[in-house]
Amino acid sequence: MSVELQLAKQFDYLCENLGEWNGLFSRYDSRMAVISQSWSKLELSQAENKDSLDFRLRLWNVEKTTTTDDPDRDIRRQWDSFDRDLIYFPGGAFCASTVEIKKEETAQVEVSFIKNDKRHRHVFWFDQDQGFYRRTLIREVKGNELTLNNEVLNTTPMLGRWRGSQTVVTDQSWPHSTMGEIEMEIDLHLLKSLILFPDGGAAKLPSMVDLDRAFEIESFWMCNPQSLQRCLVTYSAGGLWQSTSFTAMEKLSSARH
């Protein structure tokens, strides 16, 4: 498939996110203590020329209401091109990642899961001195009032055998992707050292990052006990982005005791 057709597919996947999303941004420090929270309203619509998208994000302090006309922040931009730092997957999930992490600069990795008009997003900030020093959880619902579940993920339902589809994009293949079926067993070893978020989210980050060695960032969203989404971002030695894979799976069987 030509590069042009692959980029057109990226645009189609992005369009799965069209609409008005009401949400909550929750910002955490490295110990998962809440730093701040903001209500959000994200509007993503197709521009008049049909070849780009208009983006508007408004944020309010959590003590305010999203019905006010004076947001604390009002961000507008337009999307009309794609690069390897922002990859969309079938169904509308995406991953935005710094393609080259440098010692003197701050880097960011964002993963967005989507299912049934709900989005669950993780954002991780990194610098050489502090490691992954801040995390943000963004929970959104399309067109309706946001209902929050503030209980952190119970990992026990994740244990067992899962089957689904996987899409992989590498630094060598972009914008082309490899798609296929996958079956995997999730055991206690895989769940070791998980960072747990409310509303079914989890992530695994390296405790320390040596840019002379390869490392990876892994995010999960269990939107219900039978459905699990996973995104894995890998970096090579030197801090260069290497690959991003997205997997959507359904449960086959629970773990045997």
> What pLDDT score does 144 carry?
83
Task: Give percent above pLDDT 70 in the chain.
Answer: 97
- Check whether 169 has a pLDDT greater than 90: yes
- Check whether 257 has a pLDDT greater than 60: no
Q: Does domain 3-254 have CATH number 2.40.37.20?
A: no
pTM for the model: 0.94
CB 219 within 8 A of CB 122: yes
> What pLDDT score does 2 carry?
80
> What pLDDT score does 256 carry?
67
Q: What is the pLDDT of residues 126-157, one digit of tens each?
A: 887 778 889 999 999 998 888 888 899 999 99
> What pLDDT score does 210 carry?
84
* 191-215 residues labelled b (16+ CB within 10 A) or e (exposed): beebbbbbbbbbbbbeeebebeeeb
Q: What is the DSSP string of 54-94?
A: EEEEEEEETTS-TTSS--SEEEEEEE----TTEEE-TTS-E
End-to-end CA distance of the chain: 46
* 111-131 residues labelled b (16+ CB within 10 A) or e (exposed): bbbbbeebbbbbbbbbbbeee
- Check whether 87 has a pLDDT greater than 70: yes
CB 231 within 8 A of CB 216: no
Q: What is the pLDDT of residues 37-84, one digit of tens each?
A: 999 999 999 987 777 899 999 999 988 765 677 899 999 998 888 889
CB 109 within 8 A of CB 233: yes
Q: Residue 104's CB: how many other CB atoms inside 10 A? A: 7
CB 244 within 8 A of CB 109: no
User: Rounded mean pLDDT of the chain?
Assistant: 91
Rounded distance, CA 227 to CA 229, Å? 7
What residue segments make up the domains of the chain, in order of their start?
3-254
> What pLDDT score does 237 carry?
93
What is residue 14's DSSP assignment?
A: H
Handedness of CA 66, 68, 73, 74 (dihedral sign): positive
pLDDT band of 205, cuts 50, 70, 90? very high
Work out the angle at residue 220's Cα, subtended by the Cα atoms of residues 120 and 66, and round it to the nearest 5 degrees.
15
